[in-house]
Structure 1
Amino acid sequence: MAAAGAEARGAWCVPCLVSLDTLQELCRKEKLTCKSIGITKRNLNNYEVEYLCDYKVEKDMEYYLVKWKGWPDSTNTWEPLQNLKCPLLLQQFSNDKHNYLSQVKKGKAITLKENHRALKPALAEYIVKKAKQRIALQRWQDELNRRKNHKGMIFVENTVDLEGPPSDFYYINEYKPAPGISLVNEATFGCSCTDCFFEKCCPAEAGVLLAYNKNQQIKIPPGTPIYECNSRCQCGPDCPNRIVQKGTQYSLCIFRTSNGCGWGVKTLVKIRRRSFVMEYVGEVITSEEAERRGQLYDNKGITYLFDLDYESDEFTVDAARYGNVSHFVNHSCDPNLQVFNVFIDNLDTRLPRIALFSTRTINAGEELTFDYQMKGSGDISSDSVDHSPAKKRARTVCKCGAVTCRGYLN
């Protein structure tokens, strides 16, 4: 609990070594509330159902084994159905039971005779795991939304398996430089335009066109860098040349895919074509370090390295441990997101920000994807793949399922 206050002050925090049950017991003994471990003023002295663990019928009475919120498992009790005022939890229990039985029947290709008087231990165990997963994912979702600095909300969903939140992932909103790498985050000059859309602005100073039209859609071809107005510009936050820096505007959902690709990201709202969707952020490392890590990642079958090769190949973004929603975006050989290099406060051409824009209209519920071979230049030819040391490794089989699938991620 003290770690939460330390984190708010910008200090490092570490996972608690004490079990959840022990923390809950200590809190109750000291009459302390702690929302993060489920103890609130509402349930400090009262009992609130957290989830349902088991089911049985005795003397024609239905009973459910109840896990009480903020209380350890040792205090679980059997309660008659008539005493339970938790229709949502009852429905979740029924749905989890049905899903488990459907999976078993499908796997064994036989019709199982269901015991209506008690649950089999394996089924009860699954229901408890599913309930704990649901709680863990909700806590993770809350944490992601506390950490984000953009308008769009983040949701989490897993209706496929029992996988919970990743254990070694930390949400960040901007590049995290590795030791020895300096990121200049303050521009040396800015524009003094009264209307950046019509006057010569930061893009003109860089020798390129303004990237956006009046509808905030990108109008330049892939490979053309984006120069947005920066912290030294005299224009305000509503300037038409400030798009990427405002962050993700859409509500997105990190969801568990059913095709073996792990987590993915889908949009919960319609996204217009050529609209900014998200940045790709992570730890900025040298290309030499990327080569070393890449060998390790290949053994695990993961791919999170993105080369910053706008003008050179000195640096790479590694989103394996540190990243934002883009960490979970899957590859596709026929993607709906396109990569662009962006310069705002940091004008070092070796260190562009990576922005992902929609290539077409993306409907609500559709998965977001980009091509892992795609470069900021827009070049995804086979020749371009070998330009970076981070790409000279064992090939990973692609599972995107697109008609134009190349067969490999790299």
Structure 2
Amino acid sequence: MEGWRGAWYVPCLAAHETLQELCRKENLTCKSIGIANRNLKSYEVEYLCGYKVEEGTEYYLVKWKGWPESTNTWEPLENLKCPLLLQNFHNDQNEYLSRAKQGKALIMRKHGKALKPAVADYIVKKAKQRVALQRWKEELNRKKNHKGMILVENTVDLEGPPLDFYYINEYKPAPGINVINGITTGCECSDCPAEKCCPKEAGCLLAYNKYRQLKIQPGLPIYECNSFCRCGPDCPNRIVQKGTPYSLCIFRTNNGRGWGVKTLQKIKTNSFVMEYVGEVITSEEAERRGQLYDNQGNTYLFDLDYDSDEFTVDAARYGNVSHFVNHSCDPNLQVFNVFIDNLDLRLPRIALFSTRPIKAGEELTFDYQMKGSIDPISDSADAVSPARKRTRTVCKCGAVCCRGYLN
């Protein structure tokens, strides 16, 4: 928190509104919890949480931004200059009534002309969810290091941001695991690719064509230019390391699959979409965690078995947008092993590329068994695969070719 004498720090052991109230009492500002100079001693409508009619005048119960709920006040409609908040209020009201399949009589009390408690409670919960998801979206976009924006959407239920998930942009190695192997040399190319460019030095094919799309088959590794290469950031052999170029949306699915990810832009075939990151742990630790995850029905363990099976990526608590990508038996993403600043074959980076054209608004999926649609009969397509599960999980992907289970 920023005070007039310098920086103040308060541990987040109190509720968001409690911290806001403390800031106001001490005349402090803190952008992260919505207290700025412009609203330190002013009032701004955060959301509407009640409605009544008295003597022919419509009133709305107002939650003031940055102020505790104890300061909520009833304001006449004519004083409210917030059409979007009014629209949200009535949309949430209609949504509740539609889902409850009850008549409009539920909107008003018989005598008091006020919202029924159940309706008002839903509207408040929906408003709080909207605020929480907006904060989460802002947090995700502050932490990301790539070009594409991240949006968040839930039009299905009252689920808010995950409580125990932390956004990271790259692997988070467990103690004793080194994901950077001390590489000190790179290509001398002034115009990649050349005869001695990184892929050829590794005895592999250049992965990308002139349109920066994949031209290799699943199972083959990708060697990109690294931080010691002479080529600059516009080198055509630097794709995965730049992060996703697409704007993506984390959204709540309507068929019980939890959160999912959809693209907001069209994606061409064989294009890089995102990287799969998380904690890098030993296979032994993965087995221990797997026992816990099985009971929860989670699938976040991803074996790094390109060369051996010593390490696993666990994206349960630490990860990026890929944490929310669902499984499909007919996926539009395919996994590839990538080597950049670490040439240790036991520790490839995991990149997801499109297997076909993807329309804007389409959900992104990959096959947790790695039998993607690029090369469905190739054994090499299984070079990278999620960690083996011990219990069978029912698949809800809805594909015509659905196998019925994730494993």
TM-score, structure 2 length as denominator?
0.92
The 3-state SS of whatever aligns with 1:50 is strand
Shift of 1:187: 2.0
Shift of 1:337: 0.3
Matched, 1:399 2:396: yes
After superposing the two structures, state which structure 1 stretch, 374-383 or 396-405, moved more: 374-383
Task: String of CA shifts for 1:259-317, please: whole Å, max 9, x gaps.
Answer: 11000000001111100000000000111111111111010011001110101111110
Shift of 1:193: 1.3
Query: RMSD of the alignment, in Å?
Result: 2.4
The 3-state SS of whatever aligns with 2:105 is coil
Structure 2 equivalent of residue 307 of structure 1: 303
Matched, 1:163 2:159: yes
Amino acid at match of 1:368: L
- 8 A contact 1:310–1:349 mirrored in 2: yes
Which of 330, 334, 339 in structure 1 is aligned with 2:330? 334
Amino acid at match of 1:340: F
- How far apart, in 2, do the equivalents of 1:201 and 1:191 lie? 5
Structure 2 equivalent of residue 317 of structure 1: 313
Matched, 1:22 2:18: yes
Which of 44, 48, 51 in structure 2 is aligned with 1:52? 48
- How far apart, in 2, do the equivalents of 1:268 and 1:297 lie? 31
What are the within-5 Å matches in structure 2 for residues 276-291 of structure 1?
A: 276-291=272-287
The 3-state SS of whatever aligns with 2:28 is coil
Structure 2 equivalent of residue 10 of structure 1: none
Identity %: 79
Structure 1 equivalent of residue 406 of structure 2: 409
What are the within-5 Å matches in structure 2 for residues 254-293 of structure 1?
A: 254-293=250-289
Shift of 1:392: 4.5
Shift of 1:387: 10
Structure 2 equivalent of residue 230 of structure 1: 226
- How far apart, in 1, do the equivalents of 2:92 and 2:298 lie? 30
Matched, 1:68 2:64: yes
- 8 A contact 1:53–1:66 mirrored in 2: yes
After superposing the two structures, state which structure 1 stretch, 20-29 or 86-95, moved more: 20-29
Structure 1 equivalent of residue 171 of structure 2: 175
Structure 1 equivalent of residue 105 of structure 2: 113
Amino acid at match of 2:388: K
C-alpha change, 1:199 and 1:386, in structure 2 (3 Å) is closer
Shift of 1:147: 0.7
TM-score, structure 1 length as denominator?
0.92
- How far apart, in 1, do the equivalents of 2:389 and 2:296 lie? 16
Where do 5+ consecutive residues of structure 1 fail to align?
A: 8-12
- 8 A contact 1:374–1:380 mirrored in 2: no
Amino acid at match of 1:202: C
Structure 1 equivalent of residue 96 of structure 2: 100
C-alpha change, 1:161 and 1:382, in structure 2 (3 Å) is farther
- How far apart, in 1, do the equivalents of 2:107 and 2:287 lie? 56
Shift of 1:360: 0.8
- 8 A contact 1:218–1:274 mirrored in 2: yes
- 8 A contact 2:336–2:384 mirrored in 1: no
Shift of 1:386: 12
Shift of 1:375: 7.2
After superposing the two structures, state which structure 1 stretch, 17-26 or 230-239, moved more: 17-26
Shift of 1:181: 1.3
Shift of 1:207: 1.0
- How far apart, in 2, do the equivalents of 1:241 and 1:210 lie? 8
Task: String of CA shifts for 1:133-191, please: whole Å, max 9, x gaps.
Answer: 11111111111111111111111111110000000001011111112212225423211
Structure 2 equivalent of residue 199 of structure 1: 195
The 3-state SS of whatever aligns with 2:50 is strand
Where do 5+ consecutive residues of structure 2 fail to align?
A: none
- 8 A contact 2:153–2:250 mirrored in 1: yes
Task: String of CA shifts for 1:102-131, please: whole Å, max 9, x gaps.
Answer: 0000xxxx6453444211101101100111
- How far apart, in 1, do the equivalents of 2:271 and 2:66 lie? 44
Task: String of CA shifts for 1:89-111, please: whole Å, max 9, x gaps.
Answer: 00000000000000000xxxx64
- How far apart, in 1, do the equivalents of 2:265 and 2:381 lie? 34
- 8 A contact 1:212–1:218 mirrored in 2: yes
- 8 A contact 1:313–1:388 mirrored in 2: no
The 3-state SS of whatever aligns with 1:399 is coil
- How far apart, in 1, do the equivalents of 2:213 and 2:405 lie? 31
- How far apart, in 2, do the equivalents of 1:76 and 1:34 lie? 21
- 8 A contact 1:335–1:371 mirrored in 2: yes
- How far apart, in 2, do the equivalents of 1:384 and 1:273 lie? 17
- How far apart, in 2, do the equivalents of 1:386 and 1:293 lie? 22
Shift of 1:406: 0.7
- How far apart, in 1, do the equivalents of 2:140 and 2:117 lie? 34
C-alpha change, 1:380 and 1:33, in structure 2 (3 Å) is farther
Shift of 1:385: 8.3
- How far apart, in 2, do the equivalents of 1:290 and 1:156 lie? 30
Structure 2 equivalent of residue 221 of structure 1: 217
Runs of 4+ aligned residues of structure 1 deviating over 4 Å after TM superposition are: 375-389
Amino acid at match of 1:403: V
The 3-state SS of whatever aligns with 1:298 is helix
Amino acid at match of 2:127: A
